[in-house]
Amino acid sequence: MAPSKKKHAARKACVIPGGFTVLSLQFSLDSAARHFLYVKEHRVRAEKSSYRPLDRTLFVLNIPPYCSESVVKDLFSQFGSVVSVELRDHPGSSSESGPKLSKVFRPADKERFKVGYIVFESSSSLAAAKSHPHDDPLVVSTEERPVKTGVQKWIQQYTKSFIHPDKLQLTVDSFMQDYDKRKEEEAERQRQEVEKQQEDEEGWVKVTRGHKGAKARPHSEAANKRTLQREMRKKRRKELMNFYTWQHRNTQKEHIAELRKKFEEDKQRIALMRAQRKFKPY
């Protein structure tokens, strides 16, 4: 007997306003409660990143806290091979541009509903996920891949929090090697900037002509520091000159006062000599 039209229509995908497809999620086979995910193709043309190709990336909303990256990868692997899964607290650009830190060097993630970016190996897998019927739930915990929750999950997280010293030492050594390499590259870049912007004693900067089409370099931290030091030197020189000017002016005033005092003494001496002089012609 052919299936009825009503049953056939129920097997279609449920698309809501905004272009999102609704996927139902069931924690286990014997669970009556269902959770709903909202998925759509990731199309952000402003983000030119190879980590999220436009034709193979699925954007997922409302991912529950008990679904880790490995669980999400297992759930969507039924539609095709999954290359990578990225879970974030909020939608945003890819975080692959900066150095990727180990879990040892970053705080633990908070348990909250998240958004996800799932990259498939083929674009057909993306279409299969978008056309999946909403009445066919995705099962999170099965006998082949059980997912622990509650106290069992806390015990598992507590056990995994202890890291073997040898493994921790390797992680620290690798992190420090990358850190030293970045510091050396930064020091080399600053040295090249200093060589290109050599200043003479009067503060003139030698500007060299770059290649054709090169854009002007923004003010670096080293250039701003040199400018501040130059201003401080000018200020100290000006203060020193003002001090010398005041000292010279004060010396001149003292010298003039001493000359006036000596002139008055000479006048009194001459007047006394004139008074004591007597005219005796014979």
Residue 32 corresponds to which tokens in the numbers above? Answer: 């009556």
Higher pLDDT, 58 or 51: 58
Tens of pLDDT, residue by residue over 158-183, are 887 788 888 888 888 888 898 899 99
Nearest alpha-carbon partner for 34 in 7, 79, 59, 64: 64
* Distance in Å from the first CA to the final CA of the chain: 174
| Per-residue confidence (pLDDT) for residue 243, from 0 to 100 | 67
What number of CA atoms fall less than 13 Å from residue 216's CA on the CB side?
A: 3
| Per-residue confidence (pLDDT) for residue 206, from 0 to 100 | 58
**Cβ atoms 16, 38 nearer than 8 A:** yes
Q: What 3-state DSSP class applies to 223? A: helix
Residue 151 and residue 142: Cα distance in Å, rounded? Answer: 19
User: Of 3-12, 13-22, 88-97, which one has max mean pLDDT?
Assistant: 13-22
Specify the pairing of strand 138-139 against strand 20-26.
parallel
Residue 207 DSSP one-character state:
P
| Per-residue confidence (pLDDT) for residue 60, from 0 to 100 | 92
For the residues 101-114, what does the mean pLDDT come to?
70
| Per-residue confidence (pLDDT) for residue 66, from 0 to 100 | 84
CATH architecture of structural domain 9-150: 2-Layer Sandwich (3.30)
Residues ≥6 apart with Cβ < 8 Å to 238:
none
Question: C-alpha angle 268/274/275, rounded to 5°?
Answer: 90
Residue 39 and residue 129: Cα distance in Å, rounded? Answer: 8
Mean pLDDT of the chain: 78
| Per-residue confidence (pLDDT) for residue 228, from 0 to 100 | 84
Residue 263 and residue 275: Cα distance in Å, rounded? Answer: 19
Residue 19 corresponds to which tokens in the numbers above? Answer: 């272009």
What's the pLDDT band for 95 if we cut at 50, 70, 90? Answer: low
| Per-residue confidence (pLDDT) for residue 199, from 0 to 100 | 55
**Cβ atoms 135, 24 nearer than 8 A:** yes
In angstroms, the Cα distances linking 138 to 27, 49, 88, 182 are: 8, 30, 21, 44
| Per-residue confidence (pLDDT) for residue 82, from 0 to 100 | 92
Percentage of the residues of the chain whose pLDDT score is greater than 90: 12
Considering Cα of 260, then 262, then 263, then 265, what sign does the dihedral take?
A: positive
Tens of pLDDT, residue by residue over 224-281, are 777 888 888 887 777 766 666 777 778 888 888 899 999 999 988 888 888 877 655 5
| Per-residue confidence (pLDDT) for residue 1, from 0 to 100 | 42
Tens of pLDDT, residue by residue over 27-48, are 888 888 888 999 998 887 666 6
Nearest alpha-carbon partner for 76 in 33, 129, 12: 129
59 pLDDT higher than 70: yes
pTM: 0.53
Higher pLDDT, 264 or 12: 264
User: Of 90-104, 140-154, 178-192, which one has max mean pLDDT?
Assistant: 178-192
Q: Comparing 28-32, 115-119, 221-225, which segment has the lowest mean pLDDT?
A: 221-225
Residue 230 and residue 234: Cα distance in Å, rounded? Answer: 6
Q: At what angle do helices 221-276 and 165-196 cross, to 10 degrees?
A: 50
120 pLDDT higher than 90: yes
